[in-house]
Amino acid sequence: MSAVLAGEGERILLVGSSGGHLAQLMALRPWWGASDRAWCVFDGPDSRGHLKEESDVTWAHAPTTRNVPNLLRNTVLAWRLLRRFRPTTVVSTGAGVALPFFVLGRVRGVRTVYIEVYDRIDTATLTGRLCRPFTDVMCVQWDEQRHLYRDAHVIGPLL
């Protein structure tokens, strides 16, 4: 991952749902650990446990699947968080909460990095397909996923 995104002075905004998506973002700690960072994830026991030591956590609105009101709420949340934190990079492993951050991040000129989840080998996730047009660096975890996204970087399994 660091070869894909090397750089000092990174301000990283990590966006994702709870559960496995958050676990994959946590596995990137060697990369983001020394950087200024903020988080936007769904609230829940696992999220609170993983992020208890983090100082800048914003809770996203869930559920996101086919929920237009929460899409709009998360879009407002994304706009505010992008303006306040001013990240250099937005990173996400999905799911649906990532979309407004990628769209608005692109509008603001922020680099976006999407990491496709490790358990989808044959087909791309819906969030991956929706975020792809707004993604600067598309990463996959298995060589077999490379066919899903043109120019994807294989970073290896995170979990």
pLDDT tens-digit readout, 19-78 = 999 999 999 999 999 999 999 999 999 999 999 999 999 999 998 888 999 999 999 999
pLDDT in tens, 75-123: 999 999 999 999 999 999 988 899 999 999 999 999 999 999 988 899 9
131, 124, 84: which is closest to 106 by C-alpha?
131
pLDDT at 2 (0 to 100): 56
Instruction: Give the position of tokens 């609105």.
Output: 61
Please give the CATH superfamily to which domain 11-154 belongs: Glycogen Phosphorylase B; (3.40.50.2000)
Higher pLDDT, 7 or 29: 29
**pLDDT (mean) for 139-147:** 94
Q: Residue 8 pLDDT > 80, yes or no? A: no
Say if pTM beats, i.e. exceeds, 0.75: yes
pLDDT at 62 (0 to 100): 93
pLDDT at 64 (0 to 100): 87
Question: Does residue 95 have a cis bond before it (omega within 30 degrees)?
Answer: yes
Distance from chain centroid for Cα 33: 16
> Residue 9's pLDDT band (boundaries 50, 70, 90)?
confident
Q: Calculate helix-pair angle for 98-107, 68-85, nearest 10 degrees.
A: 50
Dmax (CA) for the chain in angstroms is: 38
Q: CA-to-CA distance for 115 and 135, rounded, in angstroms?
A: 10
